[in-house]
């Protein structure tokens, strides 16, 4: 088994016949270590003036590779021609190295994360200029939802080979809730009291959780690659980071992305760029996302309610993490996020009215 480092990556690609020795001698190959910061994975981008660029990924801890195995399995699915998943994801270079658990993906150095794209857009115009990209993000999720159904026609996904995913908040036991409520921490104790008060509501959401699709479980702006703002020639968006791919409810993917827009709304004013950004611009993009991903406003009331309540669950989980770690994000007003999450969970109809297009 090979542990990738900056010293071994070129030799590994050379053995795979993906690069030529002459490229190293002439200095044409540029290898960037860890372009997507992670403590879990060794990440490299390999750029070449001619031929394909590569994104190379391997779990850092070779004795903890279950997530890495899930990602390898997912890209084996992408490689099946009849699934047509490659328009939503980067393409893996075959054969996939399951022995060393190394994943090589075709990569364009013109791609950046959607999060970086947002920063590139001048803030006074950000809301208007993000409407079409947001619609395309919704269509990306809709396409994945359709193609990753576990049993679709004659092409079922071998779901038993993947783990299952349920939001951890829905699985909290009474003893855990009691301990959180008694924590010597103002923010944690408030969280515990709220969860204890609404255990029946959480139980009903758990009962309605669906395990019908293969889902990414970590859909967010930083895991969506897109061309730069001045490059319109490249197909728009792909979703990366499938190491936590699991069987679960596809609505979670939609609320995960909606949460990014909501959290942007609760960013505190910290820079001159942020100061000129209207919170309402981000809020106005959420109905665009919801409608383009699932025809939200034509859905049954129970389905719409579930989406908003799951959004509340996700925001509560983010609040809990902030309450535990404290300095995780000093630029987001998490006490206000907590208040909004409570409203999503207990008064979803009022939030839906807020999201009317």
145 is written with which tokens? Answer: 């939802």
pLDDT band, very low/low/confident/very high, at 111 (cuts 50, 70, 90)? confident
Closest CA to 289 of 167, 148, 140: 140
The whole-number pLDDT of residue 68 equals 59
CA angle 144, 145, 150 (to 5 degrees): 105
Q: State the chain's mean pLDDT as an integer.
A: 86
Angle of helix 251-265 relative to helix 334-346, nearest 10 degrees, comes to 140
Length of the chain: 357
Which band of pLDDT confidence, cut at 50, 70 and 90, is reported for residue 84? Answer: confident
CA-based end-to-end distance of the chain? 53
Structural tokens at position 286 = 């959420």
51 falls in which pLDDT band (50, 70, 90)?
confident
The DSSP call for residue 63 is T
Confidence label for 231 from pLDDT (cuts 50, 70 and 90): low
Phi, psi (degrees; rounded to nearest 5) at 138: -60, -40
Q: Which two tokens stand for residue 357?
A: 């297009």
Torsion of CA 174, 175, 176, 181, to 10 degrees: 90
Mean pLDDT of all residues in 304-320: 96
Mean pLDDT score, 31-40: 70
Q: Per-residue pLDDT averaged across 93-104, rounded?
A: 90
Least confident piece of the model among 93-97, 222-226, 273-277: 273-277
What pLDDT sits at residue 61?
Answer: 59
Question: What is the residue extent of each domain of the chain?
Answer: 9-109, 112-354
Residue 89: pLDDT over 50: yes
Query: Which has more confidence, 65 or 210?
Result: 210
- Please report, rounded to a whole number, the percentage of residues in the chain having pLDDT higher than 90: 49
pTM score, two decimals? 0.90
What backbone phi and psi angles, to 5 degrees, belong to 300?
-60, 150
3-state secondary structure of 46: strand
What is residue 349's predicted lDDT score, i.e. its pLDDT? 95
Q: Rounded CA gap, 286 and 114, in Å?
A: 16
Q: Which CATH architecture does the domain made up of 112-354 adopt? A: Alpha-Beta Complex (3.90)
How does residue 275 score in pLDDT terms, banded at 50, 70 and 90?
very low
- Residues 99 and 96: their CA atoms lie apart, in Å, by 9
* Structural fold of domain 9-109: Phosphorylase Kinase; domain 1 (3.30.200)
pLDDT, greater one: 155 or 136: 136
Has residue 239 got a pLDDT over 90? yes
User: Which of 45-59, 77-91, 277-291, 319-333 shows the lowest mean pLDDT across its residues?
Assistant: 319-333
DSSP string computed for 60-118: SSTT--HHHHHHHHHHHHHT-GGG--TTTSPPBPSSPBTTTTBEEEEE-TTEEEHHHHH
Give percent helix, percent strand, percent coil of the chain, each to the nearest 5.
50, 15, 35
Query: How far is CA 114 from its chain centroid?
Result: 11
- CA distance linking residue 86 with residue 96, whole number of Å: 15
């Amino acid at each position: 088994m090979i542990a990738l480092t900056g010293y071994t990556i070129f030799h590994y690609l050379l053995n795979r016949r993906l690069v030529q020795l002459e490229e190293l001698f002439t200095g044409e190959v540029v290898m960037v270590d860890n372009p997507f910061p992670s403590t879990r994975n060794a990440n490299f981008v390999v750029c070449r003036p001619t031929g394909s660029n590569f994104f190379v990924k391997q779990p850092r801890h070779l004795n903890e590779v279950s997530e890495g195995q899930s990602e390898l399995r997912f890209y084996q699915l992408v490689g099946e021609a009849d699934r047509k998943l490659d328009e939503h994801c980067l393409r893996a270079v075959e054969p996939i190295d399951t022995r060393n658990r190394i994943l090589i993906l075709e990569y364009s150095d013109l791609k950046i994360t959607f999060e970086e794209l947002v920063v590139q857009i001048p803030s006074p115009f950000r809301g208007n200029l993000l409407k079409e990209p947001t619609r395309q993000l919704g269509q990306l999720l809709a396409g994945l939802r359709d193609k990753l159904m576990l049993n679709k026609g004659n092409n079922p996904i071998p779901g038993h080979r993947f783990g299952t995913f349920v939001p951890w908040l829905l699985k909290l036991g009474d003893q855990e809730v009691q301990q959180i409520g008694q924590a010597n921490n103002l923010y944690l104790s408030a969280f515990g009291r709220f969860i204890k008060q609404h255990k029946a509501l959480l139980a009903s959401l758990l009962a309605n959780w669906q395990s019908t699709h293969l889902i990414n479980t970590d859909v967010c702006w930083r895991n969506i690659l897109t061309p730069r703002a001045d490059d319109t020639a490249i197909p728009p968006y792909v979703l990366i980071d499938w190491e936590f791919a699991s069987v679960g409810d596809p609505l979670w993917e939609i609320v995960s992305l909606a949460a990014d827009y909501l959290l942007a709304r609760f960013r505190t004013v910290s820079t001159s760029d942020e100061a000129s950004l209207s919170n309402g611009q981000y809020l106005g993009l959420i109905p665009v996302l919801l409608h383009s991903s699932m025809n939200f406003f034509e859905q049954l009331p129970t389905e719409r309610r579930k989406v908003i309540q799951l959004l509340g669950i996700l925001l509560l989980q983010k609040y809990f993490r902030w309450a535990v770690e404290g300095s995780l994000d000093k630029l987001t007003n998490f006490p206000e996020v907590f208040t909004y999450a409570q409203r999503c969970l207990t008064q979803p109809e009022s939030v839906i009215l807020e999201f009317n297009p």
